Amino acid sequence: MLLHVPNVLTPDQVTQCRAVVDVGGWADGSATAGHIAAQVKRNDQLPETGDAARQAGEMVRRAVLAHPLFVAAALPHQLYPPMFNSYGPGQTFGNHIDNAMRVSPLDGSRIRTDLSCTLFLTDPDDYDGGELVVEDTFGAHGVKLAAGDLILYPATSLHRVEPVTRGARVSSFFWIQSLVRDIEKRRLLFELDTSIQRLTIADAQNPVVTDLSGIYHNLLRQWAEV
């Protein structure tokens, strides 16, 4: 499931985040890629253990965990500390699939990468190219979102970043280990949860809301891994 999550950061929060990120000191992004990915990765990244990445990463972490749509879709158990990259003219990241496991350089914790996400920090009019292209059984999907918006997709997906031809594309990216590993079970829970939310808005006193909420939590109780 490819999901656009809007307004994760407000315009003021984007500005605050960029103020930290832009002076953080970019380094060669291929240093954090695996052997295969490093051959097709041409971008810049903030050092993960640097003060800028940690400060901006905490802003992102708080924002996504406070966003109801993100939480409903991802059912996050653990978040890899958010990272930050920049693509300037000629920079790109060819087709690759993210590693199944990641180890945090901050505390050594290990997470399974069930979901990948990119939080855009540059308005799309400020650069050309740079689309995130995610491939699934329905084809290739190009994504270029407003600053502050996020795209969430399965970490099993083949994906790439098209070459930037003008300006710079700055983003945050990270991975989530979900409470529910199975993608289809997670999708069903998301659809049930959003249906309950719509019904609650229409008629919060309807006893069906309670019934469906009970079904949702019983399924989550059965399927969750903690």
Q: 34 pLDDT exceeds 70?
A: no
CATH class of 183-223: few secondary structures
* pLDDT score at 155: 96
pLDDT in tens, 35-63: 777 789 999 999 999 999 999 999 999 99
* Residue 38: count of CB within 10 angstroms of its CB: 15
Q: For the domain with range 3-178, which CATH number is right: 2.40.30.10, 2.60.120.620, 1.10.1740.10, 3.10.20.90?
A: 2.60.120.620
Cα 117 to its chain centre, rounded Å, is: 2
pLDDT in tens, 91-106: 999 999 999 999 998 8
* pLDDT score at 35: 72
Beta-bridge partners for 4 = 151
What are the extents of the domains in the chain? 3-178, 183-223
Q: With bands split at pLDDT 50, 70 and 90, how would you rate the model's confidence at 78?
A: very high
d(CA 84, CA 21): 8
Is 175 or 109 the better-scoring residue by pLDDT?
A: 175
d(CA 217, CA 106): 33
- Give the pTM: 0.94
